[in-house]
């Protein structure tokens, strides 16, 4: 497991949503310090190609576009998942419009938006929830519901073949009410980790907690369970982290714990057969401690980008001194000998002018920064 690429200059985004389709990562919305979220404008889309390592911003929708009425407004705290070549986006909020519960669909082949006609009980408007896919069905869990003004611990299912929403009659002891947790699909199960909850119940109070246990929801039996996980005491609870599945295991990176005033830059692997946490240490320098980033899996590689971290000059716990990131890192679980050689050429600054053209092109793609990022506000240095 190696960090093989680090590039700057991509979209500077925090609390965005992203998915992988084919060789590309599609990133939707999010915010950047200094942007206006008091007005409503169409959501932006940035696309990263795993081969060229280039970011591209798609044209922002205008009123002359035939799908303009179905374009979601700019938001943060939303979720997105891919089913085939279609991306479904749900929830999130804007400081002007509040939270949303309309289901949007983005077709990565036509680059057009639509609002699928749905039936059943649509989940209430929320942000900070999770959304994952099992057998082409969408499962929404948790988040903070705007109208009820409380955390949620319900599971909602959308069948993408019938476009029917259903509040599931879950059995067992459900995961605690929470937001900004992670939900990762492994087989027919949805694994919940972390997030921000309240010790006293579903409402905000002065008793914030950060669970570090794993809850499992079986989408076949509709039953919750809590496995006994080894080394649980070693991993601290957190929110706004990244979680992804690879090889049947769940990986956690980064996040934030307000009680400890701590951002994380560690990576953990949950063995879902032995039910055991183990901290992993990929080779080569990786991302700094951060939260609210995105991580998308493309075959044996993970594209991790964005998020926010404390500025070097900021004080511990001072959330007014945060730096929004425009970087992208690629983690390779099974790097080829060719890839390792290219990483060595870059690491040791070897002369590659005598190498074949295709190798030189690949090396340039691995080292040339992108140039589409929004400049940092002057107060962030």
Q: Which has the closest alpha carbon to 119: 145, 157, 81? A: 157
| Residue 164, pLDDT score | 98
Q: Which has the closest alpha carbon to 9: 378, 377, 374, 381? A: 374
**Where along the chain do its domains lie?**
2-380
| Residue 377, pLDDT score | 60
Domain 2-380 has CATH 2.120.10.80: yes
| Residue 314, pLDDT score | 46
| Residue 18, pLDDT score | 98
Q: Which has the closest alpha carbon to 96: 78, 73, 68, 80? A: 73
| Residue 327, pLDDT score | 98
The answer for residues whose C-beta is within 8 angstroms of residue 136's C-beta and 6 or more apart is: 83, 84, 160, 161
Question: Which residue positions in the chain have pLDDT lower than 50?
Answer: 313-317, 379-381
How far is residue 332 CA from its own chain's centroid? Answer: 18
pTM of the model: 0.95
The dihedrals phi and psi of 379, each to the nearest 5 degrees, come to -75, -10
Tokens matching residue 193: 């980790």
Q: Would you say 4 and 64 are in contact if contact means Cβ atoms under 8 Å apart?
A: no
């Amino acid at each position: 497991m190696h960090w093989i690429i680090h590039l700057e200059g991509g979209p500077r985004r925090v609390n965005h949503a992203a998915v992988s389709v084919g060789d590309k990562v599609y990133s939707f919305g999010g915010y950047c310090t200094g942007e206006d979220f008091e007005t409503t404008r169409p959501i932006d889309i940035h696309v990263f190609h795993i081969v060229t390592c280039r970011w591209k911003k798609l044209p922002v929708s205008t009123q002359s576009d035939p799908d303009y009425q179905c374009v979601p407004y700019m938001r943060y705290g939303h979720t997105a998942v891919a089913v085939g070549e279609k991306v479904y986006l749900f929830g999130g909020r804007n400081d002007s419009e509040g939270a949303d519960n309309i289901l949007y669909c983005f077709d990565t082949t036509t680059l057009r938006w639509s609002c699928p006609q749905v039936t059943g009980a649509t989940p209430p408007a929320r942000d900070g929830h999770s959304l994952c896919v099992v057998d082409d069905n969408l499962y929404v869990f948790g988040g903070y519901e705007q109208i009820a003004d409380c955390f949620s611990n319900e599971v909602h299912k959308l069948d993408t073949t019938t476009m029917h929403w259903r509040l599931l009659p879950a059995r067992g002891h459900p995961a605690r009410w929470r937001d900004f947790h992670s939900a990762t699909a492994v087989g027919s199960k949805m694994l919940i980790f972390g997030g921000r909850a309240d010790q006293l119940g579903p409402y905000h109070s002065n008793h914030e907690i950060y669970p570090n246990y794993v809850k499992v929801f079986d989408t076949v039996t509709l039953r919750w369970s809590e496995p006994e996980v080894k080394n649980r005491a070693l991993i601290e609870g957190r929110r706004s982290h990244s979680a992804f599945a690879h090889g049947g295991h769940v990986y956690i990176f980064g996040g934030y714990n307000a009680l400890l005033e701590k951002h994380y830059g560690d990576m953990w692997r949950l063995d879902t057969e032995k039910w055991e946490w183990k901290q992993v240490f990929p080779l080569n320098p990786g991302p700094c401690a951060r939260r609210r980033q995105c991580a998308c899996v493309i075959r044996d590689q993970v594209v991790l980008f964005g998020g926010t971290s404390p500025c070097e000059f900021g004080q511990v716990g001072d959330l007014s001194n945060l730096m929004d990131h425009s970087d992208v890192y690629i983690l390779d679980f099974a790097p080829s000998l060719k890839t390792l050689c290219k990483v060595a050429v870059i690491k040791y600054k070897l002369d590659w002018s005598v190498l074949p053209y295709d190798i030189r092109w690949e090396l340039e793609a691995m080292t040339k920064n992108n140039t589409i990022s929004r400049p940092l506000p002057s107060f962030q240095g």
